[in-house]
Amino acid sequence: MGRSLTLLLPIAQNEEGQLVSPEAGTPNANYFCPACHAPVVLRAGPIRVRHFAHKPDLGCSLSQGESWNHWWAKHLIAQVAKSRPREVRIQRTCDKCSDSTIQPLPPSVNGAQVEYTLASGLRADVALLANEQPVCLVEVRQTHAVGEEKARLIDLPWMEVMAEDILRDPSVWVVVQSGHLKPWRCRGRLAREQGRIMPLVVHGLASHTVVCPECYRVWRGKCYANYIYDCSLCRYSVPFSQEGEEGAKTPGRPLSPEPESYPRYFSCASPAWDCLSDAEQRRYDFFLRHPELWGRHEKNR
C-alpha cells in the first residue's frame, strides 16, 4: 500500500515540458514525471479522483508529502509567468476592509526562475524577472508562512501564496501575505471618498439596496431600491464605485441578468442620506458592520 501511494502524481509534464493537471489531461496522451522524467499514465476512471501514476515497476526520486505540492506550485508559478504572463491575475485584499482587487502582472515581467538566490544569500521560491533581473519574489506556503526575520531581510517586493491555490489554478495568485508591494487604493476606500457605501442584498431574482435615501421603493416600511432598474439609472450612483466587472454605469458592459454577477456594493452620493429614519440608519449600520452579508440572499423579514 505504501509503495502504491508514492507512485501517484497530482501533476505531470506533457511532451512540450509543460506542467499539466489531471483535470486538464487527455487520455492516451504522453505524460512524464516532472522529477524523474519517467513515463506516467493518466488515471481518469469513474470512481477514484483523476491522477497521474507511475508504472508499477518504476521508482521516483520525489517523495510523497508536503514537498510535492510545494515543488509543483513553484514550477507552475514560473511556468505561467514565462509562458502566459498576461493571463496571471494577482488577487490582493485590502488590510483596512474586506475589499479585494485583481491586478495583472506588470508588463515589464518577462521571465521567472525557481529557487532564485539573492545577493543576501536568501533563496526565494520564485523570482519574477525583468530583463533577467529580479523585480518581485513569490513565496509558496505549504505548512509554514514567511517569518518576520525572513520578511525583514527581503529588500524586494514579495508576495506569499498558498500551494493549494496554485495547484487549483496557477494563473490566479491569491496573496495571503506581502511586503514592499506598491500600495493601491481599494475600491471600498475610493467609494467612501466619493459617496456612502451602498451594500446590496439579493431577494428572489433581484438585487436590492439595504436602504435607499431617495426612497425609490418601500416595502413594509423599509426604503430600498432595485439595483438594475433604479440604481443603475440614478444620477446619484457614483460611476466605477462598484465591485466586480458588472455594475452601474460601466461603459460597454451591459448588466448581466444573473444576480450572482451583480456587485456586492456600490457608492451613492445622494444628498438625502441625512434624512434616514432611525430604523433605516440602524439597518444600514448593521450591514456596514457585516460586509460578509453583502451580495447574499436575505430572507424577507
What SS3 string covers 48-114?
CCCEEEECCCCCCCCCCCHHHHHHHHHHHHHHHHHHCHHHCEEEEECCCCCCEEEEECCCCCCEEEE
Q: Residue 298 falls within a domain, yes or no?
A: no
Q: Residue 165 falls within a domain, yes or no?
A: yes
Whether residues 72 and 59 fall in one domain? no
SS3 164: helix
Q: What is the mean pLDDT of residues 29-55?
A: 83
H or E segment and range at residue 169: none
* Residue with cell string 506516467: 40
Residue 259: predicted pLDDT: 52
* Residue with cell string 505549504: 142
H or E segment and range at residue 2: helix 2-6
Residue 241: predicted pLDDT: 60
Q: Residue 198 falls within a domain, yes or no?
A: yes
pLDDT interval class at 244 (50, 70, 90): very low
CA-closest candidate to residue 35, choices 75, 79, 95? 75
Give the tens place of pLDDT for each residue, 20-35.
Answer: 888 888 888 999 988 7
Give the tens place of pLDDT for each residue, 261-282.
Answer: 667 888 898 889 888 999 999 9
Contact 163, 141 (CB under 8 A): yes
Residue 252: predicted pLDDT: 38
pTM of the model: 0.54
Residue 246: predicted pLDDT: 36
Q: Residue 299 falls within a domain, yes or no?
A: no
HEC profile for 200-269? EEEECCEEEECCCCCCCEEECCEEECECCCCHHHCCCECCCCCCCCCCCCCCCCCCCCCHHHCCCEEEEC
pLDDT score of 3 more than 50: no
H or E segment and range at residue 38: none
pLDDT score of 10 more than 50: yes
Whether residues 286 and 226 fall in one domain? yes
Give the tens place of pLDDT for each residue, 130-147.
Answer: 999 999 999 999 888 999
Whether residues 135 and 214 fall in one domain? no
Whether residues 147 and 165 fall in one domain? yes
Domain endpoint, select from 31, 46, 63: 63
What whole-number percentage of the chain has pLDDT above 70? 79
Query: What's the sign of the alpha-carbon dihedral 243, 245, 247, 251?
Result: positive
Whether residues 285 and 192 fall in one domain? yes
CA distances to 113, 124, 150, 198, 222 from 117, rounded to whole Å, are 10, 6, 13, 48, 61
Query: What's the sign of the alpha-carbon dihedral 21, 22, 23, 29?
Result: positive
Contact 290, 267 (CB under 8 A): no
Q: What is the mean pLDDT of residues 283-301?
A: 81
Contact 115, 134 (CB under 8 A): no
Whether residues 76 and 146 fall in one domain? yes
Contact 191, 185 (CB under 8 A): no
Domain total of the chain: 3
pLDDT score of 177 more than 90: yes
Q: Residue 161 falls within a domain, yes or no?
A: yes
- Look up the domain containing 11 and give its range: 2-63
Residue 4: predicted pLDDT: 37
pLDDT interval class at 250 (50, 70, 90): very low
SS3 193: helix
pLDDT score of 18 more than 70: yes
Residue 30: predicted pLDDT: 93
User: How high does pLDDT run on average in the chain?
Assistant: 81
Q: Residue 57 falls within a domain, yes or no?
A: yes
Give the tens place of pLDDT for each residue, 227-236.
Answer: 888 988 888 8
Higher pLDDT, 244 or 281: 281
pLDDT score of 117 more than 60: yes
Residue 249: predicted pLDDT: 35
pLDDT score of 301 more than 70: no
**Among 160-164, 182-186, 210-214, 292-296, the least confident range:** 182-186
Q: Residue 109 falls within a domain, yes or no?
A: yes
Domain endpoint, select from 179, 204, 226: 179
